[in-house]
């Protein structure tokens, strides 16, 4: 079946550091890939997405590229801020059903 | 934007009682909603797909009689945890998709924390 594996956390960085959170997936077909973010006390929000190979999703300075050859969708940001502290989830969906399969989540803490 | 609300945000109940959790799409209609369960420091696990006007579709391993889902209108789905036990304590999250006008995205509720004593 489909699955998503994320870099284990927690991850702690200093402000303005470079961020990478690894995500790899297993799927039978050609899934759409997503990064969701969950800020403390809030629901999940879509951060970015990519629907086909080589697509790059980007939002709020975050980027991720759909790499079919390595089945990866790593999340990157060049300079993190304290306000980026949250839990990040990589996810995939296949077909039109929109059912999401999530990775285990990575808790990110940014220190000033 | 599209907003999904959940009620209550947290609930504590005694073992053996039933608890109902509501999921509402506030500014859009949703023929389909999804219910997830999230254990502490773990990922979200899809429990079931709620279908307006028809039966819910449950994922493998999820007890239908334990987790009753009703999707009576285009803006409301309910999850009832029947005869709750401590192992049912978890964070329950719903989501609803928005499609059309170039959008194809899911919106999540803030979640409901259930504690069964």
Chain A residues touching residue B106 (CB < 8 angstroms): 46, 98, 100
- pLDDT tens string, chain B, 117 residues long: the values are 788 999 999 999 999 999 999 999 998 999 999 999 998 777 889 999 999 988 999 999 999 999 999 998 999 999 999 999 999 999 999 999 887 665 678 899 999 999 999
Chain B residues touching residue A45 (CB < 8 angstroms): 108
Asked if B43's CB is within 8 angstroms of A103's CB, the reply is yes
Of A41, A46, A102, the CB nearest to B44: A102
Q: Which residue of A has its CA nearest to B48?
A: A99
d(CA B95, CA B99): 13
Of A43, A89, A98, the CB nearest to B43: A89
d(CA A73, CA A35): 9
pLDDT tens digits, one per residue of A73-107: 999 999 999 999 999 999 998 766 578 999 999 99
* Nearest chain B Cα distance for residue A38, angstroms: 9
């Amino acid at each position: 079946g489909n699955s998503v594996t994320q870099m284990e956390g927690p991850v702690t960085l200093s402000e303005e550091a470079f961020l990478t959170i690894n995500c790899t997936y297993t799927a039978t077909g050609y899934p759409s890939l997503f990064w969701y973010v969950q800020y403390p006390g809030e629901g999940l929000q879509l951060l970015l997405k990519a629907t086909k190979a080589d697509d790059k999703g980007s939002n709020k300075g975050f980027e991720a590229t759909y790499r079919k050859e390595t089945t990866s969708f790593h999340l990157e940001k060049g300079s993190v801020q304290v306000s980026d502290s949250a839990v990040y989830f990589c996810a995939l969906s296949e077909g039109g059903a929109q059912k999401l399969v999530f990775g285990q989540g990575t808790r990110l803490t940014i220190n000033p | 934007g599209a907003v999904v609300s959940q009620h209550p945000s947290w609930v504590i109940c005694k073992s053996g009682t039933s608890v109902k959790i509501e999921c509402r799409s506030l500014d859009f209609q949703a023929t389909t909603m999804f219910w997830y369960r999230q254990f502490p420091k773990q990922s979200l696990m899809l429990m079931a797909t709620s279908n307006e006007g028809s039966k819910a579709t449950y994922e493998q391993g999820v007890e239908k009689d334990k987790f009753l889902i009703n999707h009576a209108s285009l803006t409301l789905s309910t999850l009832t945890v029947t005869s709750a036990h401590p192992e049912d304590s978890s964070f329950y999250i719903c989501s609803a998709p928005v499609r059309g006008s170039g959008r194809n995205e899911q919106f999540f509720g803030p979640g409901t924390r259930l504690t069964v004593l």
